[in-house]
Structure formats: structure tokens, C-alpha cells
Amino acid sequence: MKLFGVSLQRNGAIENNNFAPSIVWTPDANPAFQNTYLFPVEIPAGTGSWFENVTTEQVDAAGYEVFGGPFDRYFNETAIAEYKYGYDPLWNVLDPNTYTYTDKQTNQTYTLVANETTYGFPKPSDISEMLYAKNQCLLQTRLLAIYNDNPTQVTVKVRIADQSFKGAVTELINMTDQNDPYGLLDTGAGLGVLYEYEGQTGPSLETDGADYSPANVKFKFRKGGLGNTLPYIPEEMTYTIPAGGWAMAYMPMYVTKENGDYAGIDDDYLVLATETQ
């Protein structure tokens, strides 16, 4: 098995900019559709060479702000309204408990229903608010290409075997036939998102040579969206890939800063591993 990042050009630099304005959309034979090509490149080994180093400005800009709303009334003064909270890993775990909070100013009570919200702090009032908060914490997104260099079809598990959970947390998400409700792969305001090719669970495979080896293959994406409807941290995906075939995943990374004193993290990391069945 081999894992690859993607580039906008054959043998080009690995793409680190969330595919933002660099992507060029080309109309299809049916001008209602637009496509773009991406190419596999080796994943570089140096710190900050694939997932970029995160700057103070990016940390300040990302996160979920507890402002004005009911939070400072549901919770006491330990919740500082104007601070931004980062992604809490427990946001992705459904909470089976029911909570009732009272607005200190109006005495009105608010009930958070069991299994409709998650753990973590601050506790969003429902799943949709959690997804909004999660989106506010998004830092970077990377496309991952999985290549089966075996002579036979295999079933392989691709998983995030370990990660630090300190400065950032990363998910591994499969392509599905659904849209991207959170816009995680949005290439920029109004520029569209990468979308699986029509009728396929992933991009269309095309080649510049005689075969679909990493040296020749290219991935044709349609302008649209990718799926992510999973409310928990997806860290493991199982793929069945034919001999010499490809599968696609993408990996959104979120800031995990907490309220209060927070220092930068050197060598925040994740470990990607495959396990052929």
C-alpha cells in the first residue's frame, strides 16, 4: 500500500492551501458541470511540510466564540464570553444525559435533550450548533489518495493510529455520495468545493500514460461537495481497492485551544497507518 497527497500539477509541490483559489475549474462537455484535475505526489516528511504550521493569527481567528448569547447566563463566570474556544474532542461523543439550565435573568429554563447533544465544553445546545462550532474551528483540509500496489484486490483499513490532541485534532473521512453539509472542502467564497465525479464514490480516474500508476494517474473532480455526516471523530476507514486501484479520503484539521492560558505546541503530530486485511 502507498499513501499520497495531491498536487495541482504533475510532479508539482504538494498542495497545502486547502485547494483554495488555485483550483481552475474547466467546463465539461455539458457546460453545466465544471471539473478540475489533481495529481498524486509523495507525502513530505518534514514538520509543517504537509499540514502547515499554524500561526498565532490563525489560532486567534479560528474557534467558537461564546458571546452574548445564552451561554453566559447558563454558565457562571468561569465561561469568559469574549474568548474563543477550540474544537473539543468530546464534541464528537453523543451525551446520553439530559441537562436543564436556568437563565439567571429571566428564570426561563432550557433543556438539552439526551443523545441530541454531545460532551465537551462549552456544551452546544444541539447537534446543529455543535456542527457550526466545529466548522468555526477548522484550520486546514488535506486530500489523501490511497494506492493499492498489489497485483490483487485487497481490503485495507486506513486509520489515524495516533495523534496528539494538543494544538489540533484531525479527522479521516471517506468520500460518500452525499454533499458536504459543513463546507469543509470549500475552496473559497463562491468558488465551489471538490466533488466526487458523477456516479462514482470518488473522483474519476484518468491517466496520462499506459496505466494508472502514481506516475501516470490523475484525479478528475467535479465542482460540488464531499460528504461528511458523521458526528463523531472518524479515524478509521475501510476500503476495498482493485489491483493497481485508488481510493480517496480527506482530512480536516481543527484547532483545539482551550479557554484560559494556552501556549503553542511544537511538533503536534498524527500517525497515518494502513492495515491490509
Q: What residues make contact with another protein under the rule CB under 8 A?
A: 1-3, 43, 45-48, 50-56, 58-60, 72, 76-77, 80, 82-84, 104-105, 149-151, 154, 156, 161, 166-168, 255, 257, 261-276
3-state class (DSSP) for residue 131 = helix
Question: Least Å distance between CB 138 and another protein?
Answer: 14
Question: Least Å distance between CB 102 and another protein?
Answer: 10
For residue 140, give the amino acid letter: Q
Query: CB-wise, 24 or 243, nearer to another protein?
Result: 243
3-state class (DSSP) for residue 145 = strand
Q: Which whole-number Å values give the CA distances from 91 to 129, 222, 230, 238, in the listed order?
A: 11, 31, 12, 24
Question: What 8-state DSSP symbol labels residue 118?
Answer: B
Cα(198)–Cα(192) distance, integer angstroms = 16
Question: Least Å distance between CB 227 and another protein?
Answer: 23
Half-sphere exposure of 74 (CA within 13 A, CB side): 18
Query: CB-wise, 74 or 197, nearer to another protein?
Result: 74
Place of cell 484518468: 206
Query: CB-wise, 230 or 273, nearer to another protein?
Result: 273
Query: CB-wise, 1 or 205, nearer to another protein?
Result: 1
Question: Least Å distance between CB 267 and another protein?
Answer: 5
Question: Least Å distance between CB 79 and another protein?
Answer: 11
**Which residues, including other chains, have CB under 8 Å from residue 19's CB and lie 6 or more apart?**
8, 38, 141, 143, 185, 187, 194
Question: Least Å distance between CB 192 and another protein?
Answer: 27
Query: CB-wise, 20 or 273, nearer to another protein?
Result: 273
For residue 88, give the amino acid letter: D
Query: CB-wise, 214 or 231, nearer to another protein?
Result: 214
**Which residues, including other chains, have CB under 8 Å from residue 262's CB and lie 6 or more apart?**
none
Cα(261)–Cα(16) distance, integer angstroms = 29
**Beta strands in 117-196, from DSSP E residues, in sequence order:** 138-147, 154-163, 168-170, 173-174, 193-195
Query: CB-wise, 29 or 266, nearer to another protein?
Result: 266
Question: Least Å distance between CB 156 and another protein?
Answer: 8
